[in-house]
């Protein structure tokens, strides 16, 4: 058919890359330089277009247009010319679709997944995933460059087994599964993978319960040290932590999250593990802490010491936390304050719903029973807790 196509080259007419189908031998030349006044039969014109993809490869396509002899030759050319840009666009879009079907390597897939999740997961979670991946997965260059369709459960299990053989705790090796399972789930959802190889990673059973117990006297001593810490804003941060908040939740607080009129505060979805806004009652202790550091209209409640536009770094507080521990003669983590609250409330016979309301737990066994934080229930539980720990 190619030999039957005649180039159309009319002066003052847009006929770039337009050809006439001359299979019927209507024209006896190899190029049409003058438009015929009438064609006695139906006819076809062809449009060829070219495009260069992002890799610099030149692509081309051809499309035919059929016309009745009732339309003039010039009208037909104008109609075909009007389709040129649209056809070029389709050609370029076709190239992009081809690129999207390219199977990414494990490292490429990981980078894309992390970038997609940056505004959906907390910074701590993202950084934790990256730390684990870089140390245990992408340290193997060969595995990093393997297409994700070739990643098997066995290869992932080998990583976990290596960690266990090196004496790592099962809890640590579980982090590999937690990091990779949502990654492969994403590529199953978009049709790149048929199944998720991370689901079947085997982790030895271990006791995931955390038990931090202090005598009542030691517990009271701890809270006395926290509430009377001589340096601000660290004393105020300790007060917030004593209400069951995670350290990142406290340091990420902004003044826009504080509603003094309603006496509530909100932990935004990007700063908690539930991934939805969580609103709590603003206790008298928390209000006093805010007043002590000076209530403002905007910015972080606890900004960095030097750059007030940034939130305080975790390491800044940990130095002051260590001073508390030195006086107390104990070694516990900041996060253990949450476990202490949970432990005391359990011993007081408080319900799982009440404890979950205070701590913002994400356990399905608890969260199935309520759809949002019960502010009054949480406040009541904290009142009972402070009655026990305060002198």
Q: Is the pLDDT of residue 15 over 50?
A: yes
- CA 138 vs CA 42, 145, 146, 310, 370: distances in Å: 63, 9, 11, 31, 40
pLDDT, residue 264, reads 93
> With 50 as the cut, is the pLDDT of residue 373 above it?
no
Maximum average pLDDT range among 51-65, 189-203, 259-273, 300-314: 300-314
Give the whole-angstrom CA distance, residue 36 versus residue 84: 23
Considering only 7-11, 17-21, 166-170, 283-287, which range has the smallest mean pLDDT? 166-170
Rounded mean pLDDT, 308-317: 90
Predicted confidence (pLDDT) per residue in 33-82, tens digit: 888 877 878 888 999 988 876 667 778 888 888 887 777 888 889 888 88
Least-confidence region, from 32-41, 151-160, 350-359, 373-382: 373-382
Give the pLDDT confidence score for residue 105 in this predicted structure. 94
Q: How far is CA 385 from CA 245, 373, 378, 381, in A?
A: 14, 18, 11, 6
Residue 224: is its pLDDT beyond 90? no
- What are the residues facing 52 on neighbouring strands? 58
How does pLDDT run across 182-203, given as a tens digit for each residue? 889 888 877 788 889 998 888 8
Residue 251: its pLDDT value, please? 93
For 173-182, the pLDDT digits (tens) are 888 888 888 8
Q: Long-range pairs for 319-322 at CB < 8 Å and ≥24 separation?
A: 320/229, 320/231, 320/234
Question: Spelled out in words, what is the top-level CATH class assigned to the domain 216-389?
Answer: mainly alpha
Q: Do domains 106-200 and 216-389 have the same CATH topology?
A: no
| Residue 301 pLDDT | 95
Domain ranges of the chain: 2-100, 106-200, 216-389
Assess if CATH 3.10.310.10 describes domain 106-200. Answer: no
């Amino acid at each position: 058919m190619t030999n039957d196509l005649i180039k159309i080259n009319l002066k003052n007419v847009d006929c770039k890359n337009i050809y006439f189908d001359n299979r019927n031998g209507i024209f006896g030349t190899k190029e049409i330089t003058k438009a015929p006044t009438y064609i006695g039969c139906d006819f076809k014109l062809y449009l060829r277009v070219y495009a260069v993809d992002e890799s610099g490869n030149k692509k081309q396509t051809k499309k035919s247009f059929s016309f009745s002899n009732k339309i003039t030759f010039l009208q037909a050319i104008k109609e075909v010319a009007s389709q040129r840009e649209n056809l070029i666009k389709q050609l370029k879009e076709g190239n992009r679709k081809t690129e999207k079907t390219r199977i990414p390597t494990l490292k490429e897939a990981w980078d894309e997944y992390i970038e997609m999740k940056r505004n959906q997961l907390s910074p701590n979670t993202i950084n934790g995933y990256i730390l684990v991946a870089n140390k245990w997965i992408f340290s193997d260059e060969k595995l990093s460059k393997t297409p994700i369709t070739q990643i098997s459960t066995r290869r992932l299990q080998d990583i976990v087994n290596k960690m266990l053989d090196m004496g790592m705790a099962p809890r640590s090796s579980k982090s590999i599964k937690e990091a990779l399972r949502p990654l492969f789930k994403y590529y199953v959802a978009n049709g790149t993978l048929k199944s998720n190889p991370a689901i079947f990673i085997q982790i030895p059973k271990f006791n995931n319960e955390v038990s931090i117990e202090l005598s009542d006297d030691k517990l009271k001593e701890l809270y006395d040290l926290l509430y009377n810490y001589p340096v601000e804003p660290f004393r105020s941060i300790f007060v917030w932590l004593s209400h069951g908040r995670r350290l990142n939740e406290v340091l990420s607080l902004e003044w826009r999250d504080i509603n003094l009129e309603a006496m509530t505060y909100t932990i935004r979805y990007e700063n908690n593990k539930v991934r939805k806004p969580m609103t709590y009652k603003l206790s008298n202790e928390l209000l006093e802490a805010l007043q002590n550091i000076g209530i403002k209209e905007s910015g972080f409640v606890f900004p960095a010491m030097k750059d007030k536009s940034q939130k305080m770094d975790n390491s800044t507080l940990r130095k002051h936390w260590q001073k508390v521990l030195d006086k107390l003669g104990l070694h516990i983590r900041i996060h253990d304050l949450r476990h202490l609250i949970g432990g005391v409330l359990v011993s007081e016979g408080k319900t799982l719903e009440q404890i979950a309301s205070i701590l913002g737990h994400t356990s399905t066994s608890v969260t199935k029973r309520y759809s949002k934080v019960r502010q009054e229930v949480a406040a009541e539980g904290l009142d009972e807790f402070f009655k026990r720990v305060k002198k």
